[in-house]
Structure 1
């Protein structure tokens, strides 16, 4: 499996996108204009590639080459198609267990969650194309290599994944403090997908509305929330406990 690589230069990135490379994120120089730069922006938007506008100093730190105002990170993994993955798991006779991450932004949290998901038999992780943490060196290191062992899918919107799971007979459970249900009141024995929210705002309200169930962890101390990767581990191991009993 390839290490994450960077490419720089507008033409090089255009060619990479057109060649079907899995681009994780493109860093673009703030305030830059020009015909070729506009063409790159248009192609990035058309392919729903994650992008960020940054000062030129950031690009200079990312590469020593002539970046022309654009640096792209190529993902070290190939992302899976959600429909093929869900169908394959259902047809295998396994009881599906999926994880949906609603714009989780910290790469170390992402890596830790991937590691726990692999250890608990999660069949696949679904993330949004835009706004989420990239799969980079820190993700790989924190996941202890689990990123290469568990299928990861990218979708335009997490809500699309929720609807697809529900249409496939998979119950969607939101991990949120905005409920009276404790994690121990919910059944994880049937086919299910667990949604974890972002570090700062949790699960998007519009996604909470369409979830089949909501559950929270009991918090007995003074601090009102857990780190998302720790909370995710608690949810996944409750699913494991129920399925083993």
Structure 2
């Protein structure tokens, strides 16, 4: 996180909300009180912000100044709506490719995935409004600038995006070990959305029940799982392979 994407102080965060800044996350000290914090709380409740209640030690690390118990991060990237991303994708190609990240938490994994997605021609990356890794300076840096090229979208719930994609005739595929189907056995030349899960828990069960297919990568060693950004890259490049291979 850099100073250019971080603001601190109750009044500063209130003004950022009032001016329509693209606030990625708000860190609040536990058990704050007072009229200003009440005003901030009212504004937060009217919106849909990603909030973390943290001890003062965390805020001290995030801010070198008088944070007054509040630090917020501003996303350097403008997000688009799911409707905008899907409409634009289909205007460019008959078989768009989307990527959904279900509660991914590591910002460097996030950035690495964005970079790979850009290289693979992904038409849009969809993340949840709350609970996922912030698109902060570290994520943007790890993406090697790809975050400025790939359309990004935030939704209240990943399942809402899945239903919208299904209605748009996009097949939904979740990457999970909870299946016997290999990703190599699926037809990925159709309009496709790939769902990657949380680093520890994988794709949530409710989403696994929603998708059209579940698929996994073969693991031939003793380790039972891949890093999520590595797995995502392998799956995306299987999509690329199928779509550019003349015999497929």
- Matching of residues 106-145 of structure 1 within 5 Å: 106-145=106-145
Deviations 1:155-200 (A, max 9, x none): 0000011001001111110101111110111111000100000001
Partner residue, 1:93: 93
Partner residue, 2:55: 55
Q: Check whether the contact 1:4–1:73 (CA below 8 A) recurs between aligned residues.
A: no
Partner residue, 2:224: 224
Distance 1:87 1:3, change over 3 A: farther
Distance 2:41 2:137 in 1: 25
Partner residue, 2:9: 9
Distance 1:100 1:4 in 2: 27
Q: Check whether the contact 1:10–1:67 (CA below 8 A) recurs between aligned residues.
A: yes
Compute the TM-score of the two structures, normalised by the length of structure 1: 0.95
Larger mean CA deviation between 160-169 and 8-17 belongs to 8-17
Partner residue, 1:22: 22
**CA apart distance, 1:56:** 1.5
Larger mean CA deviation between 30-39 and 136-145 belongs to 30-39
**CA apart distance, 1:3:** 8.1
**CA apart distance, 1:94:** 4.0
Q: Check whether the contact 1:49–1:130 (CA below 8 A) recurs between aligned residues.
A: yes
Partner residue, 2:78: 78
Distance 2:61 2:216 in 1: 42
What is the SS of the residue equivalent to 2:209? helix
Partner residue, 1:160: 160
Distance 1:166 1:26 in 2: 32
Q: CA RMSD in A?
A: 1.4
Compute the TM-score of the two structures, normalised by the length of structure 2: 0.94
What is the SS of the residue equivalent to 1:16? helix
1:67 aligns with 2:67: yes
**CA apart distance, 1:4:** 4.4
Partner residue, 1:188: 188
Unaligned 5+ runs, structure 2: none
What is the SS of the residue equivalent to 1:99? strand
Unaligned 5+ runs, structure 1: none
**CA apart distance, 1:93:** 3.2
Partner residue, 2:243: 243
Larger mean CA deviation between 221-230 and 30-39 belongs to 30-39
Partner residue, 1:43: 43
Q: Check whether the contact 1:27–1:52 (CA below 8 A) recurs between aligned residues.
A: yes
**CA apart distance, 1:66:** 2.1
Distance 1:9 1:134, change over 3 A: same
Q: Check whether the contact 1:101–1:127 (CA below 8 A) recurs between aligned residues.
A: yes
**CA apart distance, 1:40:** 1.6
Distance 1:4 1:89 in 2: 31
**CA apart distance, 1:222:** 1.1
Q: Check whether the contact 1:4–1:75 (CA below 8 A) recurs between aligned residues.
A: no
**CA apart distance, 1:84:** 1.1
